[in-house]
Amino acid sequence: MTSTRYLFYIAHNYSFEILRPLQQVIQAQGDEVKWLAVGKEVTLSYFQNNELVLNSIDDARAYNPDASFAPGNEIPNFIPGVKIQIFHGLEWKKKGHFVIRDFFDLYCTHGPATTSRFNALAQKHGFFDVVETGWPKLDYLFTTPAMPLAEQLKLANKKIILYAPTFSPALTSAPALFEEIKRLSEVKDYHWLIKFHPKMAIQWLEQYKTLVKDNLQIIETASINELLQTADIMVSDTSSVIGEFSLLNRATISLNNKEPGDYLVNIQTSDQLEQAIKLALNPNQQLKAAIKVYAKDLHPYCDGQAAQRILSATETILANGKQAKKNKPLNLFRNLKQRKKMQYWTI
């Protein structure tokens, strides 16, 4: 029996942690996965020795996948296969999350908070399917161990704060919180872990590096699950990682979150951070309950089977075709932009 061919189309390092659970279930049933990295923001050394990596778009076309998965917003029409969107984060508040760009045949949503909106969009546009599957990156969240330093700091009675801001200039808290994080790291007995988004402006990467000391680390890794497991609380803004951390029933402090809910300790100014940390470390029952309600709406799956559900939804389309009645638009303008960006003009 011929195996099914799958392609992972990636442009950023966060894709590794999202797609590897899916790769595992695909390979476990004897099918094939190959990766195509486009652009300059993928660190090729992150690929593992047993992963099959294509060298070019021409190689991807020659591979001729049955289905192609993308955790980003785009995948051009010259890449073969049914195209599946699995998203690069849980944060639905950011501009563009619900924009339909006419690239995808199937949207694999994470929970009721987004499924209902995408179902409405599917009815409106009529050319793509929506299946609620959960997010594959989270298949490993609940089983990933904390960093070794967590036990050491626990014995020393030190609390661990993860600072994970978004990169978007309009939403990031990095400029506003720099001086306060600097002050608190010098006068308070917390241990800070700082994890920047891969797209964070170099200016802020360099500035925060000046704060590194015994009780403040900047973590540079493609994986964040172990950081989430390690932290007692998190400080952020409108980052998608807030949703992931909430699934662990722990409190997040956000600076000017775009749509703050009762599951957040939301602050408006940096001088409110110190008091917010005290509240987040000792959450009341109302805050604890709100975090649980939010997590269930955002991503109700804790079974580690999201990747399997995505694969099953894909196999259904491959076997039976889409339920959507309309053909996908030609999408000429956006596909032309993709060709120009990649300097790929082969028909």
Domain ranges in the chain are 5-140+304-342, 149-298
What pLDDT shows up at residue 156?
86
What pLDDT shows up at residue 222?
67
Three-state SS for 241? helix
Task: Determine the CATH number of domain 5-140+304-342.
Answer: 3.40.50
Residue 74: C-alpha distances to residues 22, 88, 101, 179, 225 (Å): 19, 11, 8, 37, 25
Contact by Cβ (8 Å): 35, 10 = yes
Half-sphere exposure of 145 (CA within 13 A, CB side): 5
Per-residue burial over 251-283, b if 16 or more Cβ lie within 10 Å, else e, is bbbbbebeebeebbbbbeebeebeebbeebeeb
Amino acid letter at 133? T
Reported as a single tens digit per residue, the pLDDT across 126-139 is: 999 999 999 999 99
Position 271 pLDDT exceeds 90: yes
How far is the C-alpha of 341 from the C-alpha of 321, rounded, in Å? 31
Section 95-103 average pLDDT = 85
Q: Tell me the two tokens of residue 284.
A: 């009341």
Mean pLDDT computed over every residue of the chain: 94
Reported as a single tens digit per residue, the pLDDT across 79-97 is: 999 999 999 988 776 667 8
What pLDDT shows up at residue 284?
97
Position 299 pLDDT exceeds 90: yes
What pLDDT shows up at residue 198?
81
Residue 243: C-alpha distances to residues 33, 45, 303 (Å): 29, 29, 17
Contact by Cβ (8 Å): 233, 253 = yes
Section 182-203 average pLDDT = 92
What pLDDT shows up at residue 171?
92
Length, in residues, of the chain: 347
The total of other beta-carbon atoms located within 10 Å of residue 83's CB is 23
Whether 149-298 and 5-140+304-342 are alike in CATH topology: the answer is yes
Reported as a single tens digit per residue, the pLDDT across 218-265 is: 998 767 899 999 999 999 999 989 999 999 999 999 999 998 999 999
Q: Tell me the two tokens of residue 140.
A: 């490993």
- Please indicate, yes or no, whether the overall pTM of this predicted structure exceeds 0.95: no
Could you please report the per-residue DSSP string of 92-132?
TTSTTTT---S--SEEEE-SHHHHHHHHHHHHHH-S-EEEE
Tell me which long-range contacts 271-279 makes (C-beta under 8 A, separation of at least 24).
271/180, 273/177, 273/180, 273/181, 273/184, 273/235, 274/180, 274/184, 274/188, 277/161, 277/184, 277/188, 277/190, 277/233, 277/235, 277/253, 279/251
Position 306 pLDDT exceeds 80: yes
Adjacent-strand bridge partners of 44: none
Position 216 pLDDT exceeds 80: yes
Half-sphere exposure of 77 (CA within 13 A, CB side): 14
Position 50 pLDDT exceeds 70: yes
Q: Tell me the two tokens of residue 85.
A: 């969107």
How far is the C-alpha of 71 from the C-alpha of 15, rounded, in Å? 6
Reported as a single tens digit per residue, the pLDDT across 13-41 is: 989 999 999 999 999 999 999 999 999 99
What is the fold, at CATH topology level, of the domain defined by 149-298?
Answer: Rossmann fold (3.40.50)
Three-state SS for 319? helix
- Which pLDDT band, with edges at 50, 70 and 90, does 347 fall under? confident
Position 307 pLDDT exceeds 80: yes
What pLDDT shows up at residue 95?
66
Reported as a single tens digit per residue, the pLDDT across 159-188 is: 999 999 999 899 999 999 999 999 999 988
